[in-house]
């Protein structure tokens, strides 16, 4: 895989970021290890997780994904082949949330212990914390970088005005800036990123690693009617796309996929990789078969006509 630069951080990352939200949740430890080995052996090096993964699952407390990654690092010896990204800020228990300096210091040490590593390549604010001044948060991240615990920082789920404010403040204060943004962006979720966030990331030259790149599985082609969505485990996540516009996007994806001897998922990811502001879309796999499908997207180059077809069918707002 050809590597891409992440902002000005110096991190050279693969064009596909492997999502770690499934590790310890829908992918058990043994399966997770096989997926991680296969991803790295195929040339991938960019892996995303968060301290909160997978706190939402019954009986989980958070930290499950980081713990599995830590065990894999210890067993495989492949830590130096990975650009590791994790996050802080989501609630991990009583008084364990947000981006205050005290909590960031506490959370990073907990993540490092679970991950069995002494540094994090990309440490991201999982969401904005309006209760904590931006200067305090950025200052705390600066301390972590100075201490060697973190190489670069990023932001996730920030609105454009707050992202701009953080970037400008970093310049004013002379502290490390966010080098990446992790937004919700895909063929069926375009307007918020393209209209408000993309101008900011392009102005400041930061990387972009979108999540829900396959819209919670909707863009894999497994949902073709509203009946396909009803009653499924991800009905809540994909339900808003189950309309005329969403199914038109899927139909176009399938058509382009046939023309390129590819799958809809590969085409959806290749479309993202073709966007000038995108560094690497995030996608998760719970089997080696799924991973193989995702990896093939990195060698798929869409022609201009295919990109224009996808642009046109997906340009209608989500609510249409």
Tell whether the model's pLDDT for residue 252 goes beyond 80: yes
pLDDT at res. 317: 59
User: Which CATH superfamily is 4-182 part of?
Assistant: NADP-dependent oxidoreductase domain (3.20.20.100)
The per-residue pLDDT for 183 is 98
pLDDT at 238: 77
Residue 19 β-bridge partners: 48
What is the rounded CA–CA span in Å between residue 105 and residue 114? 15
Q: What three-state secondary structure class fits 34?
A: helix
Band (pLDDT 50/70/90 cuts) for residue 235 is: low
Q: pLDDT (tens digit, 9 = 90+) per residue, 148-202?
A: 999 999 999 999 999 999 999 999 999 999 999 999 999 999 999 999 999 999 9
Sign (positive or negative) of CA dihedral 144, 146, 152, 154: positive
- The two three-digit tokens of residue 10, written as one number: 């110096």
Active site residue 211: no
pLDDT at 239: 80
Secondary structure letter of residue 116 according to DSSP: T
Q: What is the pLDDT of residue 94?
A: 87
Pairing state between β 150-156 and 178-182:
parallel
Could you read off the pLDDT of 259-310 as tens digits, one per residue? 999 999 999 999 999 999 999 999 999 999 999 999 999 999 999 999 999 9
Of residues 239 and 276, the one with the higher pLDDT is: 276
- Boundaries of every domain in the chain: 4-182
> What percentage of the chain reaches a pLDDT higher than 90?
90
- The answer to whether residue 316 scores a pLDDT higher than 70 is no
| pLDDT at residue 234, as a whole number | 62
Q: Give the mean pLDDT of 24-51.
A: 98
CA–CA distance, 178 with 155 (Å, rounded to integer): 6
- Mean of the per-residue pLDDT values for the chain? 94
**β-bridge partners, 84:** 47
Distance CA 209, CA 216 (A): 16
Q: In the predicted model, is pLDDT for residue 227 greater than 80?
A: no
């Amino acid at each position: 895989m050809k590597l891409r630069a992440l902002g000005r951080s110096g991190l050279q990352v693969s064009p596909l970021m492997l999502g770690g939200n499934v590790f310890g949740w829908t992918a058990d430890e043994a399966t997770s290890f096989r997926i991680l080995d296969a991803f790295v052996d195929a040339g991938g090096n960019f892996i995303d997780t968060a301290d909160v993964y997978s706190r939402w699952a019954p009986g989980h407390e958070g930290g499950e994904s980081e713990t599995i990654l830590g065990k894999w690092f210890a067993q495989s010896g492949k830590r130096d082949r990975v650009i590791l990204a994790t996050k802080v800020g989501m609630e991990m228990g009583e008084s364990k949330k947000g981006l205050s300096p005290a909590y960031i210091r506490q959370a990073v040490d907990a993540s490092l212990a679970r991950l069995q590593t002494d540094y994090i390549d990309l440490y991201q604010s999982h969401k904005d914390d309006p209760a904590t001044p931006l200067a305090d948060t950025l200052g705390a991240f600066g301390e972590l970088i100075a201490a060697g615990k973190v190489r670069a920082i990023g932001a996730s789920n920030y609105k454009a005005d707050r992202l701009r404010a953080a970037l400008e403040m970093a310049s004013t204060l002379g502290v490390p800036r966010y080098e990446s943004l992790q937004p919700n962006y895909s063929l069926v979720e375009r307007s918020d990123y393209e209209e408000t966030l993309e101008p900011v990331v392009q102005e400041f030259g930061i990387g972009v690693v979108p999540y829900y790149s396959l819209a919670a599985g909707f863009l894999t082609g497994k949902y073709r009617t509203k009946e396909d969505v009803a009653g499924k485990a991800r009905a809540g996540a994909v339900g808003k796309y189950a309309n005329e516009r969403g199914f038109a996007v899927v139909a176009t994806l399938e058509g382009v996929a046939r023309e390129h001897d590819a799958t809809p998922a590969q085409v959806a990811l290749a479309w993202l990789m073709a966007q000038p502001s995108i560094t690497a879309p995030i996608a998760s796999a719970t089997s080696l078969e799924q991973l193989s499908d995702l990896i093939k997207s990195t060698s798929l180059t869409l022609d201009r006509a295919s990109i224009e077809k996808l642009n046109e069918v997906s340009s209608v707002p989500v609510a249409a």
